[in-house]
Amino acid sequence: MALLIEQVLNGVQSGVMLFLMAAGLTLIFGVMGLINLAHGSLYMVGAFAAAAVASATGSFLLALVAALAAAAAAGALVEVLVIRRLYARDHLDQVLATFALILIFSEGVRWIFGSFPLFLDIPAALSGPVMLGPITYSKYRLALIGIGLVVALGLFWLTQRTRIGVQIRAGEADREMIAALGVDIGRLYTFVFALGAALAGLAGALVGAIQSVQVGMGEPVLILAFVVIVIGGIGSIKGALVGALLVGLTDTLGGVALPAALSLVMDLSAAQATGAALAQVGIYVLMAAILFWRPRGLYGHG
């Protein structure tokens, strides 16, 4: 039971961090209709900015602020200089252009920070374990769950209770109409892109404290983020949260349960390798099953 509780918490923590990545991606895809493969690079930018500022100042809070600012600024700059020219182009052009941005960001970060990984220390106040009933659990991972859920509530409030949220939701439904009503589409798109980039950068900074910060760290997460928004429904913040939690729990629990089950019929090393591979496959089986049941995702429109 203790192991199950711990792994469920690990799955939730993984899911809420994945949500930060997927929420920005689903906003950009839903509002702009843009396939942005460079979203993972903004995750990487946030992680490197946080590591650099934490190393210079020793402040984890300043590191998070730097991650948000750097990723948002990079996102806004990319939207104005590159992405704005792609809205009227087909998806293949968007894929090629944003793939080129991946290469540019990777080489730029390598040029500035070098090829060796950086490390971001967990703040002293959040280091060590905390007792949760029958288990001890990492304070920092528990804080990640709390931060992710607070950000989710903030996004729900932004999209449902504010004027800019009304414009974002209207932009998903009918861009031409809100432009005719006097909304500055260019400014709205830049805001949405910068917001999505800031969320990705925040996720990169937070995860950077429990893994190394290195060039290319955003691409594996980007693949899972696309799976999340397909499961949850494109353009849906609620869908991104539910989809991220499903993916996080499937990956984490599958990675524990499958090797344990396979060890009954094969040797331990083979069971661990096979179980880990099957856990990854399980994510895509989950996506296929949900799409078979609901082709537009759990909360997709239409």
pLDDT value at residue 254: 87
28, 39 Cβ separation under 8 angstroms: yes
pLDDT value at residue 172: 66
pLDDT value at residue 300: 77
134, 1 Cβ separation under 8 angstroms: yes
Q: What does the block give as tokens for 144?
A: 């990640």
Query: What gap in Å lies between CA 22 and CA 225, rounded to an integer?
Result: 5
Q: What does the block give as tokens for 70?
A: 């750097």
Each residue's pLDDT expressed in tens, for the chain with a length of 302 residues: 777 888 899 999 999 999 999 998 888 887 777 888 999 999 999 999 999 999 999 899 999 999 999 999 999 999 999 988 887 788 788 889 999 999 999 999 999 998 888 988 898 888 888 888 788 889 999 999 999 999 999 999 988 888 888 887 776 666 677 777 777 788 888 898 999 999 999 999 999 999 889 998 998 899 999 999 999 988 888 999 999 999 999 999 888 888 888 888 888 888 888 888 888 898 999 999 999 999 888 887 65
Q: Is 137 helix (H, G, I), strand (E, B) or coil?
A: strand
Element (H, E) at 181: none
48, 56 Cβ separation under 8 angstroms: no
What is residue 124's DSSP assignment? G
Q: Is 238 exposed, middle or buried (0-12, 13-18, 19+ CB in 10 A)?
A: middle
- What is the rounded radius of gyration, in angstroms, for the C-alpha atoms of the chain? 20
